[in-house]
Structure 1
Amino acid sequence: MPHLVILYTSQLDGETDMSALCRHLADTMLTLRDEAGKAVFPTGGVRVLAYPAAHGATTDGSGDHAFCYLNLRMARGRSADVHRRTGEALVAAARAHFAPLLAGRAIGLTLQVDEGAEVFDGKFGNLHPLFTPP
């Protein structure tokens, strides 16, 4: 955790670089600091994944309307201010990325930040040690 999952209408693949968006959002997450100046998210925990919807319907079907939903899920324990600043930073990064598209086509964008209590949280792997100083 944190995981930022992006679901988008598939026509965006031909109109913007979704891999660049993922990298930009991950880099944005890595710059965030809490009130004490500590990194909000551990480097080894940041994941940004994007998936085009194989099927979908947007609005009333009257045009080629695109949509992109970004959902950040983070573990509990961060302040309301960190939640707000995180959301604002990610919206600004996504807005900058999509600015050229917004200037020329209809696209809906939503970013949601969720924090929740897990009923089970099994984590395993070997990424975190790569970013933990000796």
Structure 2
Amino acid sequence: MPHITVEYTDNLQGETDMRSLLAKINQVLIDRAPLFPVGGIRSRAIMLHDYVVVDGAEDDAFVHVIMKIGAGRTEEVKTEVCEAVFAVVCDTFADVFERRYLALSLELVEFAEGGTYKKNNIHERYKRRS
């Protein structure tokens, strides 16, 4: 953890490099190690084909980032990280925001470890680098 999901409307296809956005978001988290285990960072972008913004009358677009993290970090840490990730998103879409109607949002989901199941050998690679 954390896991990042970037949902974006298909009318934004070609407007930005989504893989680059994901890498920048991951870097925000990597830069804050060991607050977040580097070997657990996952990000993905999902283009939405079926959506309606307001009444569907316009070609409105949106990007919604969901960041899931395990419980235990202070409110200050969560706020700082969310603001840093959201700044990356806003910066990435700044020119698009100037050209068209666009809604940008970020949601933090914090959960207890109970009820999650994980098996991950990627962490070992990062432990060896330390």
Regarding TM over 0.5, the answer is: yes
Q: Are 1:108 and 2:103 matched, yes or no?
A: yes
- Runs of 5+ in structure 2 lacking a partner? none
Provide the aligned length of Structure 1 versus Structure 2: 129
Give a deviation string over 1:65-116, Cα, whole Å, max 9, x none.
0011101010011101001001110111111111111111111111011111
**Quick one: which amino acid aligns to residue 42 of structure 2?**
R
- Runs of 5+ in structure 1 lacking a partner? 33-37
Moved over 4 A (4+): none
Structure 1: distance between partners of 2:60 and 2:43: 24
Distance apart, 1:15 and its partner CA: 1.2
Partner of 1:75: 70
Partner of 1:29: 29
Give a deviation string over 1:11-55, Cα, whole Å, max 9, x none.
2122111111111111111112xxxxx622111111111101121
**Quick one: which amino acid aligns to residue 12 of structure 2?**
L
Structure 1: distance between partners of 2:105 and 2:30: 21
Structure 2: distance between partners of 1:17 and 1:9: 14
Structure 2: distance between partners of 1:13 and 1:40: 33
Partner of 1:12: 12
Structure 1: distance between partners of 2:110 and 2:120: 23
Which of 48, 57, 62 is 2:57 aligned to?
Answer: 62
Structure 2: distance between partners of 1:101 and 1:117: 37
Partner of 1:35: none
Which of 82, 85, 110 is 1:87 aligned to?
Answer: 82
Partner of 1:43: 38
Identity %: 31
Structure 2: distance between partners of 1:118 and 1:54: 33
Structure 1: distance between partners of 2:123 and 2:94: 34
